[in-house]
Structure 1
């Protein structure tokens, strides 16, 4: 099991030193989120200043970018990183697409599938000289002259993961993707009884094996020792959990545990903007279901016991910040690297 970390809102000027520190600590990968910062710019610096660590977006929103634009960005980062880049895409939800990003929300499953298929067609054109011809409902691509073509790669094409939580997107991941970014708001039961079986059904439809696919997940954690007070970690985790539980698009997880009514109550509070009240609706059972907790040195053992054979790589849903629990992070990395 690979153990990664993710970067959130870091100044680009920090990125060279930070990425080198993360690699030196022993993390297997680092991911950027499209939250307050562009997810691609930091990874250019990560690629330049590291040698081994995997780097990727988790996630970049797909629909504001055309398949050709995404193809170029991923292709260039794959080349510059010597094959270490993973393109992680997501749809976001309707409100963010329409009201924050300014793009139409139409048939997101089909549009995501066409985005991925079109990128593959573009990459096949660049790498193998195959004439570009992709025809879909959203994209019709037939023009690629040498002047606009990417140069052939000497490494494999970039893997494509998509963020998925509901059935149709999970199945699409199994059909056409190299991996899935599984949402931090999950339970073990949801993963084993719903998400992975749906992914595997998609894999079978296209004659693929589970070993052809990477299940990548973020995990809510509450470290109980270290420099940062446990109450601060609890508040962060409960706040994030309450926000996700309030989101109707993620209700499939609550349905498995009989907590849909709590989700609806949280949605009302979210619409009212009473964010501080939302975590108060979470019970201890909910927190235990959706998080793991323990000393930093214990978290790897607990995570492995829960996720071995379920997730292929994971990260804690806590961005790494130099100087904040460095010893704890080091203990966690050591635990994941031990048998």
Structure 2
């Protein structure tokens, strides 16, 4: 599928409003709709699954789903369902999210977010693309399989240079916010390319 350069962030007070926004975006010819999971809003992956059944063309993506409260095997299982309902139209974006909100809402220790994210990406991408995973790391253990692997892009959040570098090495792209274009040009993209080059990826 050709790279999409224009998309909208769809929000709403409830799931029905978000779904209606996605359907309207498709009717207007907008190529991509992105959903965020966090706070009191609806779960982005669940809404993407519902939207997949109500749309035909629009690309659906998450930007992002927080990783700390959701094991990567569970994340991959959910992503596989959406990808099967919307072939070629789903992009999974994940990330550790913010420390304060994560610890306050879920009571989990938001430690070593980059190390945690690196293991998360390895597990999720192996399971989605290869169909099985056997992984024993510092932060995660994962041993399982899914019946029908799918090769979908898995992206991760990035603000600092180290996070962009990790995305270049292990993800299919980086998702950022509150970053001036000059920062992305001078810091983010070079770090992304450095990570990809160091991992032998083009």
TM-score by length of 1: 0.55
| Larger RCO (CA under 8 A, 6+ residues apart) | 1
Matched, 1:25 2:18: no
Aligned residues: 197
Given that 2:129 and 2:151 are in contact with CA atoms closer than 8 Å, whether structure 1 keeps it comes out as no
Partner of 2:146: 150
How many Å separate the matches in 1 of 2:142 and 2:180? 40
CA RMSD in angstroms, aligned pairs only: 1.8
Shift of 1:141: 2.4
Give CA deviations for 1:259-298 in whole Å, capped at 9, x if unaligned.
xxxxxxxxxxxxxxxxxxxxxxxxxxxxxxxxxxxxxxxx
Given that 1:165 and 1:182 are in contact with CA atoms closer than 8 Å, whether structure 2 keeps it comes out as yes
Matched, 1:90 2:90: no
How many Å separate the matches in 2 of 1:123 and 1:34? 21
Among 180, 184, 190, the alignment partner of 1:197 is 190
More helix by percentage: 1
Partner of 1:216: none
Larger radius of gyration: 1
Range with greater deviation from structure 2 (59-68 or 1-10): 1-10
Give CA deviations for 1:74-111 in whole Å, capped at 9, x if unaligned.
11111111131111112112211212221111111011
Given that 1:75 and 1:157 are in contact with CA atoms closer than 8 Å, whether structure 2 keeps it comes out as no
How many Å separate the matches in 2 of 1:76 and 1:63? 21
Given that 1:67 and 1:119 are in contact with CA atoms closer than 8 Å, whether structure 2 keeps it comes out as yes
Give CA deviations for 1:156-177 in whole Å, capped at 9, x if unaligned.
4221111101011111000000
2:7 match: secondary structure: strand
Partner of 1:80: 85
Matched, 1:165 2:159: yes
Partner of 2:122: 117
Partner of 1:311: none
How many Å separate the matches in 1 of 2:184 and 2:19? 36
TM-score by length of 2: 0.90
- Residues 140 and 22 of structure 1: is their aligned pair in 2 closer, same or farther, counting only changes over 3 Å? same
Partner of 2:176: 182
Structure 1: stretches of 5+ with no match in the other structure:
210-339
- Aligned pairs for 1:239-250 within 5 A: none
Among 103, 108, 116, the alignment partner of 2:113 is 108
Partner of 2:8: 5
Given that 1:94 and 1:105 are in contact with CA atoms closer than 8 Å, whether structure 2 keeps it comes out as yes
